[in-house]
A and B are shown apart, each in its own frame.
Chain A
């Protein structure tokens, strides 16, 4: 498939497609972080994760509308408020869902998968009823427009860079929370040995709820970031859910670093191949390779060999 390209042309193609792949990478990382927390730490499959992300996106959409109408002077800073709101709205809904539904289904992971799929159908239809079937977009504040000129050929759009920075800061934040905080220690204790964690006084039900809410909240931030690079529709979330699950599983469910590495690998592979093949074949090939590798190495890229 490389016929007819010189090596220098190939280099710049790879560079260009690499940058293009970075915004896919950002979406993957943002979505996968929340999923990985919920799945890796609690064993719960949240099929409605994409819909939580879209909830964050709609929250951002409404916030931007509010600022435009009532606080036009502060419009440049609305995004930070929106991100916070998106986190809170999604985390609150997540906690509610955990209380209503998920807590009855621990140890039945396949059933959580089906129940959250049902939830995703309901959420999607609710968006369609409230916001309409058409996609909506937010207006970017001025400072996010434009691009950095790196070389004559290569320029980086500021909004893309900004989203990537958010994605990576969330990844760092999640790492610090999980591995450097008291809360994270408790979560890991519950994951490893629930009865023992309860015996030493950890409120495991509370930890579960907080973890699920946190995962959903991160999905909300992901949604806020998502509005910066694309428009939002009722089923935009579903388009990413399978890819993101593959990202999480491929990276090794318990490993945050693995999640980032696999998000990077999958997004780069897909966008590079997209240049040479049609978009759909690039996706087919990427997914096939991922599924193939998972069949050979089911524990994912980064997994500990542990005594069970």
Chain B
């Protein structure tokens, strides 16, 4: 245990002994895993395995019952959501949650990491730097032509990209994506895989995904969760051939 703790410093994210229970039901049970900088990690697992809850715990949406989450040396379990965001963790939700009334430009502008306090938001000015940052991100997420469209008019896939863009403009060190290709067409999936490859050049990414084809395309390593615990971990081939994993997915 002490060896693992001392190692924690080399990881970008070190989750140790993480547990959360809802009225006695342990949704996440003594979970530990570690992310290297610039790694793409995919979490897979059957429904109800606790995947989304893990992301909720890391970004502070749910408070852990016990355990620790160390990010870049900081303990996240004691921080509030916005403080976790400021320390460099971005989270995309399963269903696209963008500001439908605002244009794409305004969506990205609101996410720009400046003027986060009440007074800051009152004093915030749309200057050159903001416009350039927005245009750059829009380019990355294939939405340069839609900057002035209201977000409500975007397709489902474009909204997913926009939300990823809203994370990118915050310049986070760790991006967490919950089923980024769910409900996307085949072409959109391909473009999203491309997008993720670009993103991972300078971000660490933690993804929840069901589509095994897509997982194979992007993952460095895969963590398989089952009933709130880590069932298996390693390369996609390793995981696929793990008898425990086969048992869980095909056994019942």
Contact = CB atoms under 8 A, between A and B. Distances in A.
Contacts of A296: none
10 contacts: A304-B23, A305-B22, A305-B23, A306-B22, A306-B23, A307-B22, A307-B25, A307-B27, A307-B53, A307-B62
Interface string A293-308: 0000000000011110
* B interface, size bucket: under 10
A306 B22 CA distance: 6
Interface string B10-21: 000000000000
A305 B20 CA distance: 12
Nearest to B61: A308
B25 to A, nearest CB: 8
Contacts of B25: 307
Interface string A264-308: 000000000000000000000000000000000000000011110
Contacts of A307: 22, 25, 27, 53, 62
Interface string B47-66: 00000010000000010000
Nearest to B52: A307
Contacts of B62: 307
Given A304-B23, A307-B25, A307-B62, 6 more contacts: A305-B22, A305-B23, A306-B23, A307-B22, A307-B27, A307-B53
Nearest to B62: A307
A304 B22 CA distance: 9
Contacts of B53: 307
A287 B128 CA distance: 54
Interface residues of A, number: 4
A304 B23 CA distance: 7
Contacts of A304: 23
Contacts of A306: 22-23
A34 B38 CA distance: 57
Interface in B161-203: none
Interface of B: 22-23, 25, 27, 53, 62
B45 to A, nearest CB: 16
Nearest to A306: B22
A296 B51 CA distance: 31
A304 B21 CA distance: 12
Q: Which 4 A-B pairs have the closest CB atoms?
A: A307-B22, A305-B23, A305-B22, A304-B23
A305 B53 CA distance: 15
Contacts of A305: 22-23
A149 B242 CA distance: 79
Contacts of B27: 307
A46 B53 CA distance: 35
A307 B23 CA distance: 9
Nearest to B53: A307
Contacts of B23: 304-306
Most chain B CB inside 10 Å of its own CB: which residue of A304, A306, A307: A307
A307 B65 CA distance: 13
Nearest to B23: A305
Nearest to B25: A307
B56 to A, nearest CB: 9
B62 to A, nearest CB: 8
Nearest to A307: B22
A26 to B, nearest CB: 33
A182 B19 CA distance: 37
B71 to A, nearest CB: 23
A306 B23 CA distance: 7
A302 B25 CA distance: 18
A304 B25 CA distance: 12
Nearest to B24: A305
Nearest to B50: A307
A307 B63 CA distance: 11
Nearest to A308: B62
Nearest to B22: A307
A301 to B, nearest CB: 16
B189 to A, nearest CB: 26
A305 B21 CA distance: 9
A297 to B, nearest CB: 16
A307 B51 CA distance: 13
A298 to B, nearest CB: 15
B95 to A, nearest CB: 14
A92 B112 CA distance: 54
A306 B27 CA distance: 11
Nearest to A304: B23
A201 B22 CA distance: 30
A242 to B, nearest CB: 31
A88 B18 CA distance: 55
B53 to A, nearest CB: 7
Contacts of B22: 305-307
A243 B154 CA distance: 47
B90 to A, nearest CB: 21
A305 B22 CA distance: 6
A133 to B, nearest CB: 47
